């Protein structure tokens, strides 16, 4: 309940900030009665009203049977996983696809309960295989990064 | 008779060897994706958009591929619900009720082939419905001006809230978030940059693929962290694989009834397969009465939801193709794919590009036949996929998702944006917000704003144009009905509770 209130109020604050941001949006010269400002403001207004109602009267969260309560341990794991994804995004171009996906794939596999040796083997094979499949066969260009040296 | 000629032409397109191979690949990929935990048709179709684009497939083949993946995913979800008692997605929850008990009785193979057969009949009925009604609807849709379109989209979004039942408020908020997000980027009419924060990367808006993969793949990866299972042990599919004539005959009436029902539910915007399967199951259970063994492996209990799902999947394509208004999350993704190919779904599509429309309809037919045939020899291989543990699956999903996003613009900004959207989606899911309305809002947002502005330009700013034609008045009336429905339902529930309290 409290979480939901906090979430609704945070989003409400974001709505207000975005509305302030949208206020100066005006076409330099216009040939239509509705400018670029009206629609986003309308949406933000409606969203704000809904969120306000939600903050005052939060609805019960229905959990599925197999969904455990969030505990500190899971939250730590979620945080780690997000961190890994961020590392992936930031090294994607500089280190290249193969290196960066091995770099984050192995710890991620560990996070989901894999053992070291099989994780390293499978993830390495997968990243090379996926690179070959996408870059070479399907012609989706992927950065090679560090491994450019090996080309030619 | 024109229609039949076009349909023949469509089969000509779909039966070309190239497109047949495309459909076969699509059904296979779709089945595998549908099998994997946490990946449903939305992810499957979304992941394939950049790939289909990169492969340089012609539009009709790309569309056929996506439709085949869509049907394949629905089919894959069914395998895990029958053999594992774990529904791959929301729509197959009803399948587990009788499918899993059947598998436990040693009829796993029969259950699988019977469900494929049911879904085939459902799709067949829906395709016939489509052939009959879609051109009619398309003709009628020409009477839709900008004002009518705007009202129709309001209706589609309200429908979602009304149908979602227990949490209308959260559904509306989710849809509004999507509608708002669609406005990010340069405004097409005036050239004003909106909410870009002076970033070049946001100038042409949030990429559709980034949003979908963030919302559905990344948030799913985070959700999977909570469940620490290491692969599943499926019920072995042994013995007879094929259902016999007697079994097929015993569910035939159910098939027909649920097929029609599913088609109608599929056409309604926002209703979709989940609701169709639930209503079909409940109706059949009530009709069978005491003679049924529903919940303990009744064949009718398996056939009913499966037929309805098959029919509603095809039915959902009707509003998408004729009006350009998607009926479900997956069709919303398909609209996104179409716009990548510069094809605008809507009434004119039937006149301008009949080969695409009818090729798609014909390929739905073919994909269904393929699934039916594939089912028998492949089931053992498919069940083996179910035992892949999460620790290999999740990194691979993460990596492929990143490739899909990177393929669109080749910037890492999109990767960061996707992660941010994924975290937001995870929080929304934890707080019990439904995500497909957000997606639908995002798709409809641009169209909605354009149509509203166009309508108001016609009337020179007068709002009365929004309720001046009989069509828009009818749609407004339906919208009001849909809006009051959940309120009435909640009110009735409360008064029932109060009465129960008073009795005590």
Provide the token pair at B118: 């049911």
Judging contacts by C-beta atoms under 8 Å, the chain A residues touching residue B419 are: 82, 85-86, 89
Per-residue confidence (pLDDT) for residue A133, from 0 to 100: 83
The nearest alpha carbon in chain A to B460 belongs to: A33
The nearest alpha carbon in chain A to B53 belongs to: A140
Site from B87, B178, B218, B399 to mutate, A interface, most A CB atoms within 10 angstroms: B399
- A140 to B180: CB separation less than 8 angstroms, yes or no: no
Judging contacts by C-beta atoms under 8 Å, the chain A residues touching residue B173 are: 47, 50-51, 54
Provide the token pair at B248: 């097929």
Per residue of chain B (504 residues), give pLDDT as tens.
Answer: 577 788 788 888 888 888 888 888 888 888 888 877 667 778 788 878 877 777 777 888 888 888 888 888 888 878 878 887 777 666 777 888 888 888 888 787 788 888 888 888 888 898 888 888 877 777 777 777 888 888 888 887 887 666 555 677 888 888 899 999 988 888 877 778 888 877 888 888 888 888 888 888 888 888 888 765 444 555 666 666 677 777 777 788 888 888 998 888 888 766 667 778 888 888 888 887 777 777 777 888 888 888 998 888 888 888 888 877 776 777 888 887 777 777 777 777 777 777 778 888 888 878 888 888 877 677 777 777 777 777 888 888 888 888 888 887 888 898 999 999 999 999 998 888 888 788 888 888 888 888 888 888 888 878 888 888 888 888 888 888 877 777 777 777 778 777 777 765
Smallest Cβ distance to A59: which of B170, B403, B427? Answer: B170
Provide the token pair at B276: 């169709």
Per DSSP, the three-state class of B185 is: strand
- A39 to B173: CB separation less than 8 angstroms, yes or no: no
**Are the C-beta atoms of A48 and A88 separated by less than 8 Å?**
no
Per-residue confidence (pLDDT) for residue B230, from 0 to 100: 45
Report DSSP state, residue B291: G
**Are the C-beta atoms of B338 and B345 separated by less than 8 Å?**
yes
Per-residue confidence (pLDDT) for residue A87, from 0 to 100: 92
- B225 to A39: CB separation less than 8 angstroms, yes or no: no
CA of B207 to nearest chain A CA: how many angstroms apart?
Answer: 17
- Model pTM above 0.90: no
Task: Tell me the pLDDT band of A66, cut-offs 50, 70 and 90.
Answer: low
The nearest alpha carbon in chain A to B426 belongs to: A78
Site from B166, B225, B228, B230 to mutate, A interface, most A CB atoms within 10 angstroms: B225
Judging contacts by C-beta atoms under 8 Å, the chain A residues touching residue B426 are: 78
- A142 to B400: CB separation less than 8 angstroms, yes or no: no
Burial of B337 (0-12, 13-18, 19+ CB in 10 A): buried
CA of A146 to nearest chain B CA: how many angstroms apart?
Answer: 17
Q: Give the pLDDT confidence of B228-260 residue by residue, as tens digits.
A: 544 455 566 666 667 777 777 778 888 888 899
Q: Give the pLDDT confidence of B202-215 residue by residue, as tens digits.
A: 888 888 888 888 88
Query: Which stretches within B272-411 are classed as H helix?
Result: 272-288, 299-315, 317-323, 329-340, 347-352, 354-385, 390-409
Provide the token pair at B350: 């039937």
Judging contacts by C-beta atoms under 8 Å, the chain B residues touching residue A130 are: 396, 399-400, 403
- A104 to B419: CB separation less than 8 angstroms, yes or no: no
Per-residue confidence (pLDDT) for residue B491, from 0 to 100: 79
**Are the C-beta atoms of B307 and B119 separated by less than 8 Å?**
yes
| Interface subset of B 401-440, CB within 8 angstroms of A | 402-403, 406-407, 410, 412, 415-416, 419, 422-423, 426-427, 430-432
Per-residue confidence (pLDDT) for residue B233, from 0 to 100: 57
Query: Which stretches within B317-353 are classed as H helix?
Result: 317-323, 329-340, 347-352
Q: Among candidates B58, B134, B439, B44, which has minimal Cα distance to B317?
A: B134
SS3 content of chain A, % helix, strand, coil (to 5): 70, 0, 30
| Interface subset of B 143-182, CB within 8 angstroms of A | 166-167, 169-170, 172-173, 176-177, 179-180
The nearest alpha carbon in chain B to A30 belongs to: B190
Per-residue confidence (pLDDT) for residue B228, from 0 to 100: 57
Distance, CA of A144 to chain centre = 24
CA of B128 to nearest chain A CA: how many angstroms apart?
Answer: 36
Judging contacts by C-beta atoms under 8 Å, the chain B residues touching residue A21 are: 195
CA of B432 to nearest chain A CA: how many angstroms apart?
Answer: 6
DSSP letters, A38-59, are: HHHHHHHHHHHHHHHHHHHSPP
B487 in contact with A at a CB cutoff of 8 Å?
no
Q: How high is the ipTM of this complex?
A: 0.91
Q: Give the pLDDT confidence of A48-64 residue by residue, as tens digits.
A: 998 998 888 877 776 65
Per-residue confidence (pLDDT) for residue B418, from 0 to 100: 92
């Amino acid at each position: 309940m409290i979480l939901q209130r906090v979430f609704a109020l945070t989003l409400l604050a974001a709505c207000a900030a975005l509305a302030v941001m949208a206020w100066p949006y005006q076409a330099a010269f216009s040939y239509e009665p509705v400018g670029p400002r009206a629609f986003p403001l309308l949406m933000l207004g409606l969203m704000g009203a809904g969120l306000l109602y939600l903050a005052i009267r939060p609805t019960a969260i229905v959990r599925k049977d197999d969904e455990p309560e969030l505990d500190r341990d899971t939250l730590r794991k979620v945080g780690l996983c997000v961190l890994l994804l961020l590392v992936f995004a930031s090294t994607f171009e500089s280190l290249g696809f193969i290196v960066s996906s091995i770099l984050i794939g192995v710890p991620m596999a560990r996070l989901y309960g894999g053992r070291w040796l099989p994780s390293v083997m499978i993830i390495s094979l997968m990243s090379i295989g996926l690179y070959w499949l996408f870059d070479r066969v399907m012609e989706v260009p992927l950065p090679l990064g560090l491994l450019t040296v090996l080309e030619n | 008779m024109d229609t039949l000629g076009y349909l023949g032409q469509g089969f000509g397109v779909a039966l070309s060897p190239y497109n047949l191979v495309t459909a076969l690949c699509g059904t296979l990929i779709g089945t595998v994706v549908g099998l994997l935990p946490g990946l449903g048709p939305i992810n499957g179709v979304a992941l394939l958009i950049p790939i289909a684009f990169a492969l340089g497939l012609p539009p009709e083949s790309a569309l056929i591929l996506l439709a085949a993946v869509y049907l394949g995913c629905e089919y894959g979800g069914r395998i895990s619900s029958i053999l594992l008692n774990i529904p791959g997605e929301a729509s197959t929850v009803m399948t587990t009720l009788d499918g899993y008990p059947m598998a436990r009785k040693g009829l796993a193979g029969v259950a699988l082939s019977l469900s494929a057969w049911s879904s085939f009949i459902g799709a067949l009925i829906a395709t016939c419905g489509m052939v009959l009604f879609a051109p009619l609807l398309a003709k009628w849709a020409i009477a839709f001006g900008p004002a009518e379109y705007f009202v129709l989209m309001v209706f589609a979004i309200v429908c979602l809230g009304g149908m979602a039942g227990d949490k209308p408020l959260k559904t509306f908020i989710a849809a509004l978030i999507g509608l708002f997000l669609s406005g990010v980027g340069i405004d097409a009419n005036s050239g004003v940059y909106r909410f870009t924060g002076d970033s070049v990367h946001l100038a042409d808006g949030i990429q559709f693929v980034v949003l979908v993969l963030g919302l559905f793949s990344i948030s799913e990866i985070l959700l999977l962290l909570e469940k620490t299972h290491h692969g599943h042990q499926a019920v072995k599919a042994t013995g007879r694989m094929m259902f016999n004539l007697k079994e097929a005959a015993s569910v035939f009436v159910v098939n027909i009834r649920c097929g029609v029902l599913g088609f109608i539910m599929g056409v309604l915007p926002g209703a979709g397969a989940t609701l169709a399967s639930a209503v079909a199951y409940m109706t059949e259970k009530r009709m069978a009465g005491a003679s049924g063994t529903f919940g303990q492996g009744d064949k009718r209990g398996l056939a009913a939801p499966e037929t309805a799902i098959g029919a509603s999947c095809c039915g959902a394509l009707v509003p998408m193709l004729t009006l350009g208004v998607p009926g479900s999350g997956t069709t919303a993704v398909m609209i996104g794919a179409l716009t990548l190919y510069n094809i605008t779904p809507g009434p004119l599509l039937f006149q301008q590009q009949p080969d695409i429309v009818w090729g798609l309809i014909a390929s739905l037919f073919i994909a269904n036949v393929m699934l039916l045939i594939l089912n028998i020899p492949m089931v053992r291989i498919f069940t083996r996929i179910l035992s892949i543990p999460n620790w290999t699956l999740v990194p691979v999903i993460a990596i492929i998702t990143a490739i899909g996003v990177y393929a669109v613009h080749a910037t890492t900004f999109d990767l960061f944006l996707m992660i941010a959207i994924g975290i937001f989606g995870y929080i929304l899911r934890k707080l019990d917000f439904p995500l497909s309305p957000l997606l639908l809002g995002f798709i409809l947002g641009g169209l909605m704003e354009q149509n509203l502005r166009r309508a108001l330009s016609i009337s020179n700013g007068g709002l009365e144009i929004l309720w001046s034609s009989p069509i828009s008045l009818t749609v407004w009336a339906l919208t009001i009905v849909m809006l009051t429905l959940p309120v009435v339902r909640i009110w009735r529930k409360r008064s029932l509770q109060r009465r129960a309290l008073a009795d005590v």
